[in-house]
């Protein structure tokens, strides 16, 4: 079982040290999500079953810029957007940003994506909240075209461009891995088209249910035998027994938060302690002496 790290709640001053520590200790990945503009007048009645995960006063960095910086101070750990709200972005600019990140990281980028849920955020950016699902689907199609076609062009409902030059392509082939977030039926069908799923599953049974639905979609599409990474996010630190229970139902990776999420002052200490507690193995060294 791979163990990644929930990178977003770490204090800004500790983020460089946490990234280097996670890389040295053998954590598999760092995940940083996205919000662009959160309202002070949050109206919970608009969002049944949702809550404001971040306070509007929270320090929230751009995941693409932050992970590009982290790429320069790490060697092994994968760097993941968890999640990027792609319907708020432009696909051509985003594709260029991601290729750059993939190159400077040596092919260590994972693209976690979702449709978003905060209506206000879409209104601030003048984006169509009601059509965010179909926009995301077409956005991902555009990324594939840009990263694979000799002379990329696209003529769709939301994006349209004639043949253009777009080089370089990503280091990772055939594309930067895409991990889809979301629990709804449409999100799970979308995940089945790509390389992974990322999100919450409070019990191993819930994880098994979600993975089972995705697998049925993958079988219908003829993708059942292709690699697929199923990643579950924890806002706490699961013990070894819990890790094994999730592994037993087919979970590929857990992304953990080993400190008290609203009090991350001891995050660096807990990252190191937790690695020892659950037996995370450090990556192999190159064996060469520094000159």
CATH classification at residue 162: 3.20.20.30
Question: Is residue 163 one of the residues assigned to a domain?
Answer: yes
Question: Is residue 235 one of the residues assigned to a domain?
Answer: yes
Buried b / exposed e over 68-99, threshold 16 CB at 10 Å, is: bbbbeebebbbbbbbbbbbbbbebbebbebbb
Burial of 168 (0-12, 13-18, 19+ CB in 10 A): exposed
Question: Is residue 289 one of the residues assigned to a domain?
Answer: no
Domain that holds residue 180: 2-278
197-236 tens-digit pLDDT: 999 999 999 999 999 999 999 999 898 889 999 999 999 9
144-198 tens-digit pLDDT: 999 999 999 999 999 999 999 999 999 999 999 999 999 999 999 999 999 999 9
Question: Is residue 288 one of the residues assigned to a domain?
Answer: no
The total number of structural domains in the chain stands at 1
Lowest mean pLDDT among 7-11, 110-114, 162-166, 221-225: 221-225
């Amino acid at each position: 079982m791979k163990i990644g790290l929930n990178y977003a709640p770490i204090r800004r001053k500790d983020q460089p040290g946490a990234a280097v520590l996670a890389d040295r200790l053998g954590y598999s990945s760092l995940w940083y999500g996205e919000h662009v503009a959160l309202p002070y007048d949050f109206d919970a009645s608009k969002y049944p079953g949702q809550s404001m995960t971040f306070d509007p006063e929270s320090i929230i960095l751009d995941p693409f810029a932050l992970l590009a910086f982290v790429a320069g101070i790490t060697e092994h750990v994968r760097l993941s957007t968890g999640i990027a709200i792609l319907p708020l972005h432009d696909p051509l600019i985003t594709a260029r940003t991601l290729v750059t990140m993939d190159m400077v990281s040596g092919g260590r980028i994972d693209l976690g994506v979702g449709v978003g849920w905060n209506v206000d955020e879409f209104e601030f950016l003048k984006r169509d909240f009601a059509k965010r699902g179909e926009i995301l689907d077409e956005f991902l199609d555009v990324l594939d075209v840009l990263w694979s076609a000799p002379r990329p062009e696209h003529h769709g409902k939301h994006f349209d461009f004639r043949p253009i030059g777009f080089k370089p392509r990503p280091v990772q082939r055939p594309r930067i891995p895409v991990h889809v977030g979301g629990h709804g039926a449409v999100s799970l069908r979308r995940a089945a088209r790509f390389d992974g799923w990322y999100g919450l599953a409070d019990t191993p049974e819930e994880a098994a249910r979600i993975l089972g639905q995705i697998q049925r979609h993958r079988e219908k599409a003829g993708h059942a035998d292709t690699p697929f990474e199923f990643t579950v996010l924890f806002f706490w630190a699961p013990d070894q027994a819990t890790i094994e229970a999730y592994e037993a139902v087919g979970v590929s990776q857990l992304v953990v938060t080993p400190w008290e999420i609203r009090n991350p002052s001891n995050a660096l200490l807990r990252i190191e302690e937790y690695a020892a507690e659950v037996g995370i193995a450090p990556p192999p060294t190159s064996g060469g002496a520094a000159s």
